Amino acid sequence: MAHLEVQNITKSFGTHHALDGVSFNVEKGDVVALIGPSGCGKTTALRIIMGLETATSGQVKVAGRPVSGCGHDRGMVFQHAELLPWRNTLSNIGYGLEMKGMKEPELSRTAMHYLELVGLTLAKDRRPHQLSGGMKQRVGIARALAIDPEVLLMDEPFGALDSQTREGLHGELLSIHAKTQKTIIFVTHDLDEAVMLADRVAVMHAGKISQIIPIELERPRLDMRAIRTSAEYSKKRTLIWEALHDAGVSAAA
Amino acid sequence: MTTDTEIQAPARVERRTGQASWTTTVPAWVITTISVAIATGLWEFFGRDVNPLLGTYPSAIVKAFFSMLQTGRLQDALIQSSQPFIVGYIVAAIVGIPVGLLLGRYRILESALGIYVTAGYATPLIALVPLLILWFGLGFMVKAVVVFLLSFFPICINTWFGVKAVPKTMIEVGTAFCASQTAIMRGIILPATIPYIMAGLRLGIGKAVIGIVIAEFLTAISGLGGIIITSANSFRTAEMFVPVILIMVLAVALTALVGWLEKYVAPWQSEITGHDSV
More confident residue, A234 or A253: A234
Q: Write down the domain spans for chain A.
A: 4-73+149-252, 84-145
Residue B51 counted as domain residue: no
Q: Do A84 and B191 count as a contact with CB atoms less than 8 A apart? A: yes
Residue B43 counted as domain residue: no
Judged by average pLDDT, the poorest of A3-7, B24-28, B93-97, B207-211 is B24-28
User: Which chain B residues contact residue A50 at CB under 8 A?
Assistant: 176
Note which residues in 69-108 of chain A have CB less than 8 A from chain B. Answer: 70-72, 76, 78-80, 82, 84-86, 95-96, 99-100
More confident residue, B130 or A89: A89
Residues contacting A10, CB < 8 A, separation 6+ = A17, A19, A20, A21, A22, A55, A56, A57, A58, A207
pLDDT the model gives residue B53: 79
Q: What is the domain count for chain B? A: 1
Q: Do A99 and B188 count as a contact with CB atoms less than 8 A apart? A: no
In angstroms, the CA B259 to CA B192 distance is 16
Domain range for B182: 72-273
- CATH code, B222: 1.10.3720.10
Residue B126 counted as domain residue: yes
Please write the tens of the pLDDT for every residue from A202-244: 999 888 998 999 998 888 888 888 899 999 999 999 999 998 8
User: Which chain B residues contact residue A161 at CB under 8 A?
Assistant: none
Judged by average pLDDT, the poorest of A144-158, A183-197, B127-141 is B127-141
Q: Do B2 and A175 count as a contact with CB atoms less than 8 A apart? A: yes
Q: Do A132 and B9 count as a contact with CB atoms less than 8 A apart? A: yes
In angstroms, the CA A80 to CA A62 distance is 25
- Give the nearest chain A residue to B183 (CA atoms): A99
Residue B92 counted as domain residue: yes
Residue B114 counted as domain residue: yes
Q: Predicted confidence band at A251 (pLDDT cuts at 50, 70, 90)?
A: low
B interface test, pick of A70, A72, A93, A138 with most B CB neighbours within 10 Å: A70
Closest Cα of chain B to A155: distance in Å? 12
Q: Are A60 and A53 in contact (CB under 8 A)?
A: no
Q: Which of B4, B7, B272 sits opposite A129 (nearest CB)?
A: B272
Whether pLDDT at B145 is above 90: yes
ipTM score: 0.90
Long-range contacts for A20-26 (Cβ within 8 Å, ≥24 apart)? A20/A206, A20/A207, A20/A208, A21/A58, A21/A207, A21/A208, A22/A58, A22/A204, A22/A207, A22/A208, A22/A209, A23/A58, A23/A209, A24/A202, A24/A209, A24/A212, A26/A2, A26/A151, A26/A183, A26/A185, A26/A200
- HSE at residue B253, side-chain half, CA atoms within 13 A, is 6
Please tell me the CATH superfamily of domain A4-73+149-252, with its number: P-loop containing nucleotide triphosphate hydrolases (3.40.50.300)
Closest Cα of chain B to A76: distance in Å? 7
User: Which chain B residues contact residue A134 at CB under 8 A?
Assistant: 6
DSSP state, residue B165: T
Q: Which of A95, A116, A126 sits opposite B177 (nearest CB)?
A: A95
Please write the tens of the pLDDT for every residue from B81-115: 899 999 999 999 999 999 999 999 999 999 999 99
Whether pLDDT at A1 is above 50: yes
Q: Do A130 and B1 count as a contact with CB atoms less than 8 A apart? A: no
Q: What percent of chain A is modeled with pLDDT above 70?
A: 98
For residue A230, give Cα distances in angstroms to A196, A215, A239, B231: 11, 12, 14, 92
Whether pLDDT at B194 is above 60: yes
